[in-house]
Structure formats: C-alpha cells, structure tokens
Chain A
Amino acid sequence: MEHKAERTPSQTSPAMPWDRVACSKEFQDLLAVKKVFIVPAFVFFLVYYFALPMLVGYAPRLMSLRVVGSVTLGYVYALSQFVVGWIIAWLYLKAASRFDALTKDILDQAREQHGES
C-alpha cells in the first residue's frame, strides 16, 4: 500500500475525451433517462413533504382530526412520510439499475478509445 502522490484533476484528465463523451448520443440518452425519473420523483417528494409543515402550521384543526381511536391525521401523515420515502428509495434502486447498464456501455466505449484498462 504505497502512498501515491496526490494528483490534481488537470494532471489526470488531459487525454480523457470529456467533450466527446459528453456529446455522444449514449451519454445524452443516459442524462435523459435519469431526468425522466429523478425530476418528477424529487418534485413529488418536495410537495409531499412540505405539505406536512404547511398543514401542521396552517391547518392545525384539520391535522387534529382523529382517524383511528386517538390517532390524529397529523400523526398518520407524519408517519406516511417514512413509507413514502422508502417507496421512492425502492423505485429509485430499480430505475438506477437501468442507469448502470447505460453507464457501463459509455465507460466501455470511452476506455476502449482511451486505452485505459
């Protein structure tokens, strides 16, 4: 485990074909596929989450409604955030395995052209 000299990015990267990869169809496809999942998921998450402090802050009566026994709507909605978070994570894991497949093709291609192992 020999100590490797620290290298700044500019020293490692000059030969890497960054621009060519960035403009390639495969890379643009990867970005598009990621965007289709990540943007709606993140927007949904923001709306679903911020509804909680807004409702608790501005509609305390509504959030005090009893749903089951003494359990209030506010408590149920707060708990539901955990479930929704886990579901988003699970969906993202599934979507990301597609990103990985696309990424692998791009990496293989770039390394082939660049001669990196």
Chain B
Amino acid sequence: MSIALAVFALFIASTLAITYWASKRSRGASAFLAAGRKITAWQNGFAVAGDFMSAAAFLGIVGLIALQGLDGFLYSVGGFVAYVTILLLIAEPLRNSGKYTMADVLAYRLRPRPVRAMAALSTLATIAFYMIAQMVGAGALVTLLLKGSGITYNMAVVGVGLIMVTYVIFGGMLATTWVQIVKAMLLSACTAVLTVLVLAHFHFHLGDFFSAASQISFHQGGVVVVKNFLQPGLRYRPPYGPLDVVSLGFALIFGTAGLPHILVRFYTVPDARTARKSVVWAMVLIGTFFIMTSVVGLGAAAIVGPDYILSHGGTNMSGPLLAQALGGDLFLAIVSAVAFATILAVVSGLTIAASTSFAHDFWINVVHHGVEREAGETVLVTRIAAVAVGSVSIAIAIALGPNSNAGILATLGMAVAASANFPVVVLAIFWRRFNTAGAVAGLSAGLLGSIGLILASPTFMGIDSADAAGAAHHLIQAAPRFSLENPGIISVPLGFLAAVMATMLRREPSAEARFNELMVRANTGLGAEKAM
C-alpha cells in the first residue's frame, strides 16, 4: 500500500510544481481562463483526451465490459465516435467565435443576459452529474485500497478536493491543462501495460483470448451460467433494452459535443487550425485507449471473473483487480495511484469549466451587464467559484455510496449536455432564423426533460432488495416511472423541438441581422482573439 501512496505522492508533487510554474504565467483573464491561448495541437489533444479518459472511462467502462461484454463495449465506441461530431461541426466554429465558454457563441447574435443565464445553469448541471461520477469512482477506489491504512474515505475525499482547488485557483487553465496532459500519458501507458499483460496471459494467442471471452461462467440467481461476452444481450434485453442502446447512442455522440469542460479546451489553442489538429490527436489517443479497454475488460471477465469482481469492490474495481491478478500488489498500487491521479485531474478540469462559466457568463455578463467593475474581477470571481464548487463536490462525495457505476453516471451527464447544450449551439451556428426565445426554450426543455427522465429512470428509482450487497442503491425507493436508463432518445429531440418551436413563434430581426457576423467569424476566424 505504501507504494500506491508513494506513486500518488510523486504525482501530486510534480503537479503542484506545474501549478507553481503556471501561477507565475497566469495573469489576466485570457491567461488564467484560456492558458493564454498558446497550447499546441498535440498538447491540447492530450488534454482533451485526458478530460475524456476519466475515472468513468477507466474504472466504469472497463467494469461494464467485464460484467456485460459487448453491450458494455458500446460505451467505448460511442465515446470515441463522438469526436467525429466535434471535429466536423463544433471545434473550429467554437474556437473562431468564442472566448471562454460555450455561451459566447450564443451571445453574439442573441440577447446575452437570458441566454447566458440559462447556459450557465445547464453548464453547472452537466458538470454536477459528471462530478458525481468521478467522486463515486474515487470513493470506490478508497474503500478498496485504503482499508486498514488509517486513511478514512472522508479524509481521502477532502484531500482530493483540496489539491484540486489548489490547481485551479493558483494555476488556472494552464496548470489544469498540464496536469491533464501528464495524467493522460500515465493512464495511456498504464492501460497499454495492462493490455499487454492480458495478452501475455494468453501467450499472445488472440484466438485463445477471444475463446476465453466467449465462455465466461458466473453465478446468476444462485446457479452457475456460462455466457459468451462477445455476443450482445448481457445488458440490454427486451422489451426496453434495444431502445436503451439507441438512446445511449444519442447521449454519447451529441453529448460529448456539449460537454462544457471539453468545449473550453478549444479556447486554449491559438486558432481553428490548431483546434482541428488537436481533435485528431485526441481521436488517436482516445480510440487507442478505448480499444484497449475492451481487451482489459474482457480480460478481467476471463481472468478475474464477474463473481470475484462483484464480491471484491464492485464493477468499478474490475481494472484494478485485474492489475492485481496479473502484476501483483505492486501493479495494483500503480494502477490505483494512476486512477486516483485521473480523478484528481478530471475533477480539476470540471471545476475550472464550472467556475469560468459562473464568473464569465453569470457574474460579469448577467449580473454586471458585461462590464468588469475592476480589472481582474473575472479571475477573482472564478477563484471564489472554484472554492465553492470544490466544497460542494466534497460534500456530495461524502454523502454518496461507492456502488453506482461511474460510467453510467457520467453518461447521464452527457445526456443533459446532449439535450440542452448541443441543440442550441448547433442551431446558433447553422440557422439564421434562430433567436433568443428559441435558445432559452431549448436549454430549459433539454435540461428539465433530461433531468426529469433521469430521476424517473431505473438508475434513480427502484426498490432495493434486502440482500443487494454490492449492487447500486436507488435514491428513490419506488418503481421507476420511465423505462429507459438513458433519456437521450427522447430528451435530445425534445431540446431541438422546443428550440425550433419557440423560435418560430416570433422573429427577432437583430438576431437574424447578426447571423452574417457569426457566420463569417465561425468560418474564417476574422476578429477572433489571438494567442498572447
């Protein structure tokens, strides 16, 4: 266990050094909130990949594959292909026409105050779900690893929270970006080693590996069953399963393109060309990583086995348990320390995105009509907001149990992003007629619709049986009112529909008149803020 702590301490020491270095360079809003717009393509690619390869991905998705095979792998596929949407539709227009947040793109043509207020609200809601997912992952790791080491779960969560807030308030976006880059490298390397160890276990005979994955035996309802993990149907069964898979697809491929902490990364590069190249870098890294998650997940199913996973920490622990089986306690320690580092890095990325949105969108532009009353107010408010966001996340993490699957929780955050943020950003960029009423209606309907359906879904509603050890607890003890786990298939069209219908009610000549400006900005970068 001391090795895990040593690896983790090393990571913290080096990232705090980065923070110190960054703090001397982060003066002024553009430097603090957008890293001076000087991040290069490969750096931003690693940072974007780092933001996306979260605890939800490493712990959660590996766990889904280990317990549900091919159906779990669909999460990996959707997470990767989402970047095609970002590459083709979002990254370049966003960099060309915005400054710090997603709402900047909307505020060009629409009435800024109502639009920014709603956008800030939906940014915070999306991040809240994502943050809960990371914290649940942290909780699960701590419970497994620090048993008997004297460090309690609560102490660990408070520690993670404090370090994360330190990165953000002292180092700003520059520190957060470099923490993310370092972590992405560590996590990729770690997953690659794990993949090689799995294949080595089967003497590098791919045929043997896949044949083992096609006959996994485990206990189900008291009897031993043997299932083929390369076949569909382990997670998604009729009557609602098939529809749920499609619904998940909606959330993943449109939601990633609406995740605030990913979108802000495109403001840290000098221009749209760099933004584009950084998406391609991210696609190479994320694709390789997610292909490896299938080997690691199926490996965990074949080598460790679903029974052992469920009785030793639950789905989120499949990866670490596999590391222990293949590389002993030393490798378990390293993998766990890297998973911790991942949580720390992603949580700080989420915190700076939430704080920036609060300070830039809500405080400066909604409350104070777009005027900084004194120089540096945006940065100051962002710092204060970061402390608030950190405290709230610590409180949530302490209140939550470690048994919900982090991957599913993060996907719900994506459903909110896909339903509220994605429709209005796309319509603002591509539809001349779009107006303020449409944006506010789209954001509200997407937000309320997705959150309402999530609360009524089997993830939050359900009656726990008395012997449900190791299974997820339900927050609302009643039969679910909505049969799908993921609301995407209903809430994404709902967001679009509300935006379009409210737009059609009334014309807003000023919004239409300024469409030319947004179109020229988005497509050419004319007038865009440059690197400092």
A residues contacting B by CB (< 8 A) are 1-6, 8-9, 12-13, 16, 18-19, 21-23, 27, 30-31, 34, 38, 41-42, 45-46, 49-50, 52-54, 56-58, 60, 63-64, 69-72, 74-75, 78-79, 81-82, 85-86, 88-90, 92-93, 96, 100, 103, 106-107, 110
Contact status B524-A106, CB under 8 Å = yes
CA separation between A9 and B105, bound complex, in Å? Answer: 11
Contact status B84-A89, CB under 8 Å = yes
Greatest chain B CB density within 10 A among A4, A57, A107 is at A57
Give 19 pairs: A residue, B residue, CB < 8 Å, sorted on A: A1-B25, A3-B28, A6-B370, A9-B107, A16-B517, A21-B524, A34-B523, A50-B246, A52-B77, A52-B249, A53-B245, A54-B246, A56-B70, A57-B245, A69-B210, A78-B77, A79-B291, A89-B279, A110-B524
Asked if A57 meets B524 with Cβ closer than 8 Å, knowing A5-B375, A9-B108, A70-B230, the reply is no
Instruction: Tell me the dominant secondary structure on chain B's binding face.
Output: helix
Contact status B524-A82, CB under 8 Å = no
Contact status A72-B231, CB under 8 Å = yes
B243 sits at the interface (CB 8 A):
yes
Residue of B nearest to A27 (CB): B520
Contact status B213-A85, CB under 8 Å = no
B27 sits at the interface (CB 8 A):
yes
B interface residue count range (under 10 / 10 to 19 / 20 to 34 / 35 or more): 35 or more
Contact check: which of A53, A74, A90 meets B231 at CB < 8 Å?
A: A74
Contact status B242-A57, CB under 8 Å = yes
CA separation between A38 and B233, bound complex, in Å? Answer: 34
Which residues of B are found within 8 Å of A27, using beta-carbon distances?
A: 520, 523-524
B residues contacting A by CB (< 8 A) are 25, 27-31, 36, 70-71, 73-74, 77-78, 80-81, 83-85, 87-89, 107-108, 207, 210-211, 213-214, 228, 230-233, 236, 241-246, 248-249, 253, 273, 276-277, 279-280, 283-284, 287, 290-291, 294, 364, 370-372, 375-376, 378, 514, 516-517, 519-521, 523-527, 532
Asked if A92 meets B87 with Cβ closer than 8 Å, knowing A56-B70, A57-B245, the reply is yes
Residue of A nearest to B31 (CB): A1
Which residues of A are found within 8 Å of B236, using beta-carbon distances?
A: 56-57
Minimum CB–CB distance from B213 to chain A (whole Å) comes to: 7
Residue of A nearest to B241 (CB): A57
Minimum CB–CB distance from B373 to chain A (whole Å) comes to: 11
Which residues of B are found within 8 Å of A42, using beta-carbon distances?
A: 84-85, 88-89
Contact status A6-B378, CB under 8 Å = yes
Contact status A53-B249, CB under 8 Å = yes
Asked if A45 meets B81 with Cβ closer than 8 Å, knowing A4-B30, A31-B523, A74-B230, the reply is yes
CA separation between A34 and B524, bound complex, in Å? Answer: 12
Contact status A89-B283, CB under 8 Å = yes
A6-B378, A100-B273 known; 16 new pairs, CB 8 Å cut-off, are A1-B25, A22-B517, A38-B89, A45-B81, A49-B253, A53-B246, A56-B74, A56-B236, A57-B242, A69-B211, A72-B214, A72-B231, A74-B230, A85-B287, A103-B524, A107-B526
Contact check: which of A31, A57, A64 meets B243 at CB < 8 Å?
A: A57
CA separation between A30 and B93, bound complex, in Å? Answer: 14
Contact status A41-B88, CB under 8 Å = yes
Contact status A75-B70, CB under 8 Å = yes
Contact status B376-A3, CB under 8 Å = yes
CA separation between A41 and B527, bound complex, in Å? Answer: 29
Asked if A1 meets B70 with Cβ closer than 8 Å, knowing A45-B84, A64-B228, A89-B283, the reply is no
Minimum CB–CB distance from A32 to chain B (whole Å) comes to: 11
Which residues of A are found within 8 Å of B232, using beta-carbon distances?
A: 56-57, 60, 63-64, 74
CA separation between A57 and B486, bound complex, in Å? Answer: 14
CA separation between A101 and B87, bound complex, in Å? Answer: 19
- The 9 lowest CB-CB distance pairs between A and B, nearest first, are A57-B242, A22-B516, A3-B28, A70-B214, A18-B517, A53-B245, A57-B245, A64-B231, A56-B232
CA separation between A72 and B214, bound complex, in Å? Answer: 9
Greatest chain A CB density within 10 A among B73, B88, B211 is at B88
Which residues of B are found within 8 Å of A1, using beta-carbon distances?
A: 25, 27-28, 31, 36, 532
CA separation between A41 and B89, bound complex, in Å? Answer: 11
Which residues of A are found within 8 Å of B378, using beta-carbon distances?
A: 6
Contact status B80-A85, CB under 8 Å = yes
Asked if A85 meets B283 with Cβ closer than 8 Å, knowing A57-B246, A69-B211, the reply is yes
Which residues of B are found within 8 Å of A45, using beta-carbon distances?
A: 81, 84-85, 88
Contact status B290-A82, CB under 8 Å = yes
Contact check: which of B27, B516, B523 meets A3 at CB < 8 Å?
A: B27
Asked if A3 meets B29 with Cβ closer than 8 Å, knowing A78-B74, A78-B77, the reply is yes
Contact status B81-A22, CB under 8 Å = no
Contact check: which of A50, A53, A60, A70 meets B233 at CB < 8 Å?
A: A60
CA separation between A28 and B248, bound complex, in Å? Answer: 37
Asked if A21 meets B233 with Cβ closer than 8 Å, knowing A6-B29, A70-B214, A89-B280, the reply is no
Which residues of A are found within 8 Å of B27, using beta-carbon distances?
A: 1, 3
Contact status B372-A107, CB under 8 Å = no
Asked if A63 meets B77 with Cβ closer than 8 Å, knowing A22-B520, A31-B523, the reply is no
Minimum CB–CB distance from A61 to chain B (whole Å) comes to: 9
Minimum CB–CB distance from B185 to chain A (whole Å) comes to: 20
